[in-house]
A and B are shown apart, each in its own frame.
Chain A
Amino acid sequence: MSTEFTSVALGHTASLRDNKPGWFARRGLQAAIFLGVVALAAVPQFADAYYVSLGIPFMAYAVALLGFNLLFGYGGLLSFGHALFLALGAYASAMSARHFGLTSIEGMLLCAVGVSLLVALPIAFVASRFVGIFFGMLTLSFGMLFYSFLNKFYHLTGGDSGMNVPQPTLLGRSYAATGKMEFLTGPFYYYCLVLLALGVLVMWGIVRSPYGLHLQAARDNEVKASYLGVKTRQVRGVAFLISAVYGAVGGVILGVNTGLADPELAYWTHSGHLVFMAVLGGFQQFLGPVVGAFVFILLQDELQAVTQYWRFFLGIVLAALVIGMPGGILGTVRALWNRWRKR
Chain B
Amino acid sequence: MSLIGILMAGVFHAAALFLLTSGLQLVFGVQRIVNLACGSLYALGAYVGISFTTWALAQGLPVPMFPLALLAAGLVVGLIGLPLERLISTIYKRPESFQLLLTFSLILVFQDVLRFFWGANPQQLANVAMHYGSVSLWGAQMPAYNVFVILLAIATAVGLGWFLGRTTLGKMLRATAENREASAAMGVNVRMVYLLVFTLGTTLSTVGGAMVVPTAAVSLQIGVDLVVEAFAVIVIGGLGSMKGAAAGALIVGLIRAAALVLYPEVEVLATYVIVLAVLVFKPSGLFGKAAV
Mark A residues whose CB is within 8 Å of B.
Answer: 1-2, 4-5, 8, 72, 76, 78, 80, 126, 129-134, 136-138, 140-142, 144-145, 148-149, 152-153, 268-269, 272, 275-276, 279, 309-312, 314-316, 318-319, 322-323, 326
Main secondary structure of the interface of A (DSSP, over half): helix
Q: With the chains together, A272 CA to B235 CA distance in Å?
A: 20
Within 189-243 of B, Cβ neighbours of A (below 8 Å) are at 224, 227-228, 231-232, 235, 239
B96 pairs with A133, CB closer than 8 A? yes
A130 contact set on B, CB distance < 8 A: 279, 283, 291-292
Decide: A322 near B113, CB < 8 A? Known: A126-B279, A144-B268. no
Query: Are B112 and A322 in contact, CB atoms less than 8 angstroms apart?
Result: no
Tell me the interface secondary structure of chain B in the complex. Answer: helix
B94 within 8 A of A: yes
Residues of A within 8 A of B269 (CB): 145, 148-149, 152
Q: Are B224 and A133 in contact (CB under 8 A)?
A: no
> Chain B residues with Cβ under 8 A from A152's Cβ?
264-269
Since A148-B272, A275-B104 are in contact, a sample of 19 more A-B pairs with Cβ atoms closer than 8 Å, ordered by chain A residue number, is A132-B95, A133-B96, A138-B279, A140-B231, A152-B266, A152-B269, A272-B108, A309-B115, A312-B112, A312-B116, A315-B106, A315-B109, A318-B104, A319-B102, A319-B106, A319-B109, A322-B98, A326-B94, A326-B98
Can you list 10 pairs linking A and B with CB atoms under 8 Å apart? A5-B95, A78-B100, A129-B283, A130-B279, A137-B231, A141-B231, A141-B272, A314-B105, A322-B91, A326-B94
Interface residue tally for chain B (C-beta within 8 Å): 46
Quick check: B95 and A1 within 8 Å, CB to CB? yes
Partner of A275, one of B34, B101, B110, B279: B101
Q: Which A-B residue pairs are the 8 nearest by beta carbons?
A: A315-B108, A312-B112, A315-B109, A318-B105, A148-B268, A78-B97, A319-B105, A132-B96
Chain B, Cβ-Cβ closest to A267: B224
How far apart are A128's CB and chain B's nearest CB, in angstroms?
Answer: 12
Q: Which residues in B have their C-beta under 8 angstroms from that of A4? A: 94-95
Q: Which residue of B lies closest to A318 (CB)?
A: B105
User: Could you tell me which B residues sit within 8 Å of A by CB distance?
Assistant: 34, 87, 90-91, 94-102, 104-113, 115-116, 224, 227-228, 231-232, 235, 239, 264-269, 272, 275-276, 279-280, 283, 291-292
Min Cβ gap B36→A in Å is 8
Report whether B224 and A269 are in contact in the complex, using a CB–CB cutoff of 8 Å: yes
Of B231, B235, B280, which is within 8 A of A126 by CB? Answer: B280
Q: A138-B279, A141-B275 are in contact. Are A80 and B100 (CB under 8 A)?
A: yes
In the complex the two chains form, is A8's CB within 8 Å of B95's CB? yes
Q: Assess A272 versus B94: contact at CB under 8 Å? Given A141-B232, A153-B265.
A: no
Known: A141-B276, A149-B269. A134 touches B291 (CB 8 A): yes
